[in-house]
Structure 1
Amino acid sequence: MSVITFICAGQMASAITFPAMENGHEVRLVGSPLDRDIIDGLKKDNFHITLKRTLHDGIKYYQIEELEEALDGADAALCGVSSFGLDWFCDEILPVIPESVPLLSVTKGMVDLDDGTLVPYPVIFEERQPEGKHLDINAIGGPCTSYELADHDHSHVAFCGKNMETLKMFKELLATDYYHITLSKDVVGVECAVAMKNAYALGVTLAVGLSEKMEGKIGIQHYNSQAALFGQSVKEMTRLLELIGGGPENIIHGAGDLYVTVFGGRTRKIGTLLGRGLSFDEAMEELQGVTLESIVIATRTARAVRKLAERGVVSLDEFPLLMHVDSIINEGAEVNIPWDDFTMIKE
């Protein structure tokens, strides 16, 4: 048995407690400052108020002030912070984690640098840890929704990091007959692939709203148009992987995650609203209070591509769907899918 400390009690981190507990480990779940109600509820009856699932008996629950106690004697730690808590995690949590405790992060995202380079969050974690500290930082990528993992639906993800022995250790801790894990040392490839899918999921789900608008009926779907946008997304994501130096095999994680995201969640909601004809501001107003990582990722990815185009590395014509999504978000453009640009023939 190993001791695993889960830091932040969001839906995905909490869902991963299921394979951890079922493999016989001691699980300590620590809430972030935003998770106080979640932890208070779990202490009463193990019911997670946002995951809407009852967690296993035997999990030990902690508020953030008890983090050091929860880390005492831990063999591994799992980071469940959302991308919006990145700075908080870097500033407040990384300094507290002992170097002897390897870290596995579920946080998906990337930032764009001034030269157009896209950098995934595990790299940011490494750069932001205290000077002289050397944490063993790893991450999870791939198509896996928290509630379906908690329900034991078969899921296939990738664990990535620099140290294969650490990755094997994490796989041994968490792999089950329903949680299937591939290991990869290509951190940039895996993590950028699954981050960029948020931008393209918004693009694909425009077709859902357009179908509803055309038919005048909520819930109606035309799958040809969705499939076409899905295919264009995979094409552009593959090119982006090439640009960042990620292995092409990682497209399976990005495309799989794109599929999952298109079929549910917050990104589908805003894409559908935009497709129905709402302006970006109107759609955001309707979804007031909902955090949308797809907006951040689409903006950052498009900004990076524009910088690369300025340097002559790429042509914007290679990314017509991404550029259209960006124009909707940041320039107030109306939805007008650039179908003809998808069919351009390369000379």
Structure 2
Amino acid sequence: MLPYCDTAYITKIDKHYDADTFIPDLDALPDWYVAEESEQYHDVDGTPYRYVTYKRRKIITFIGAGMMASALTVPAYDNGVEVRLVGTPLDDDIIDGLRADRYHINLKRYVPDISFYKFDEIEAALDGVYDVVCGVSSFGVQWFCDEVVPRLRPGVRVLSVTKGLIDNGDGTVTSFPDLFASCAKPGVRFAAVGGACTSYELADRNVSRVTFCSAHRWVAERFKALLENEYYRVDISDDVTGVETAVALKNAYALAVSLAIGMAQARDGEGCAEHYNTEAALFAQSAKEMDSLIKLFGGCDDALFVGIGDLFVTIFGGRTRRLGILLGRGLGVDDAIKELEGVTLESVVIARRMYSVLKYRAENGTADPCDYPLLFYVGALLDKEDPGAIPWDKFSI
């Protein structure tokens, strides 16, 4: 087998012959190609035929050299995929470091022996590629729509690791895969990743379980075939709205649960024991509100489990936890964000967006603030509306 290829031995029929064999249309499926043709003709029941070996290219171009996309190159490389990592215009320092010794200055890990590109080299990085990973943060989504999606030719499949939702300003939200699809040429298909997976542990090859979702199930299945292995486990869902809502909300609610850690530190001092009862109470309320919001936006019941796993892992580490702790200690929003300067705070974006969406719906009678007291509290806190103490008396199971 050639490197970076799946091998499929397929019978090519020169005359009509009944067979169940799949013969790819090389025009419609350009990532398949004829690798070898047998010269000798064979005869079955008087019908001549010969064997042709088709191969399917296994190349993924990752666009955005952030921590999650860079970590995801590890299972791709381990699976024998040719990997091309392209930085955004903001990633030049990262790419320079990777080219020097493969050390990722933000992930703080060495990445595999793959190819690295700066954004002005993107055409070369996309040459011959039909599988792409969007690795930008939620702050880079519009840039990806403007600068990358128009370059993708029909037949390309995109897997987005970016988590978040767009506030449409009318009480509705749009998932990132749907946003990308609205900017794309016909025939470009999109999928997204949801679930509990930190970049550090993935890069260390710790067992992780995620969900790939797509309106075109075969696209999610394609990426599963490329990326799944013994430590990167993949479930498949066609509930894009539910999965994307769940994993976006987990950032807002992880911030909410982390407030309890900061509150304990404010009372007992930094380094004190965590108050798990308080965290668990906030976790339970978070789960209830997430379930309600997933259904409000049209998602299915099972999507909650994807979000709950993601919520759990986010509370136990990372940027959102740090912000929640600072706010729980009593720091103002501006001071907390300043202390974390240089850190991407997607939790602030999604919490503010969902707060805006729900306020709009409340004014129009399509949502009841009493159903989301924790999200309204976090939203008011981030918008500097002085919400006071956590509204425990409004929580219910």
Question: What corresponds to 2:396 in structure 1?
Answer: 343
- For the pair 1:166 / 2:219, whether they are aligned, the reply is yes
- For the pair 1:266 / 2:319, whether they are aligned, the reply is yes
- For the pair 1:122 / 2:174, whether they are aligned, the reply is no
Counterpart-to-counterpart distance in 1, 2:334 and 2:78: 45
* Cα 1:288/1:270, change in 2 over 3 Å: same
- Within the candidate set 38, 45, 67, 1:11 is matched to 67
1:203 alignment partner, SS class: helix
Counterpart-to-counterpart distance in 1, 2:150 and 2:272: 48
Mapping of 1:1-347 within 5 angstroms? 1=5, 2-57=58-113, 59-129=114-184, 133-333=186-386, 336-343=389-396
Counterpart-to-counterpart distance in 2, 1:96 and 1:244: 31
Are the counterparts in 1 of residues 285 and 396 from structure 2 also a CA contact under 8 Å?
A: no
Are the counterparts in 2 of residues 209 and 276 from structure 1 also a CA contact under 8 Å?
A: yes
Are the counterparts in 2 of residues 279 and 334 from structure 1 also a CA contact under 8 Å?
A: no
Larger radius of gyration: 2
Counterpart-to-counterpart distance in 2, 1:62 and 1:288: 27
> Which amino acid in 2 is paired with 1:274?
L
Counterpart-to-counterpart distance in 2, 1:220 and 1:52: 28
Counterpart-to-counterpart distance in 1, 2:272 and 2:112: 36
> Which amino acid in 2 is paired with 1:204?
V
Counterpart-to-counterpart distance in 2, 1:216 and 1:17: 40
Deviations 1:221-271 (A, max 9, x none): 100000110010000000001101101101111111111111111111111
Are the counterparts in 2 of residues 277 and 334 from structure 1 also a CA contact under 8 Å?
A: no
- Structure 1: 4+ residue segments shifted above 6 A: none
Q: 1:114 Cα deviation (Å)?
A: 2.5
Deviations 1:44-69 (A, max 9, x none): 21111111111112x11111111111
Are the counterparts in 2 of residues 279 and 332 from structure 1 also a CA contact under 8 Å?
A: no
Counterpart-to-counterpart distance in 2, 1:43 and 1:285: 31
Q: Which has the higher contact order (CA 8 A, sep 6+)?
A: 1
Deviations 1:27-57 (A, max 9, x none): 1111111111111111121111111111112
Deviations 1:118-171 (A, max 9, x none): 221111111233xx5341111111110011001111111111111122221111
> Which amino acid in 2 is paired with 1:4?
I
Counterpart-to-counterpart distance in 1, 2:111 and 2:269: 42
Q: 1:220 Cα deviation (Å)?
A: 2.9
* Cα 1:44/1:127, change in 2 over 3 Å: same
Root mean square deviation of aligned Cα: 1.4
Normalising by structure 2, we get a TM-score of 0.83
Higher strand share: 2
Structure 1 regions of 5+ residues with no counterpart? none
Normalising by structure 1, we get a TM-score of 0.95
Counterpart-to-counterpart distance in 2, 1:263 and 1:332: 28
Q: 1:276 Cα deviation (Å)?
A: 0.8
Q: 1:185 Cα deviation (Å)?
A: 0.9
Q: 1:334 Cα deviation (Å)?
A: 5.5
Taking only the aligned residue pairs, the percentage that are identical comes to 51
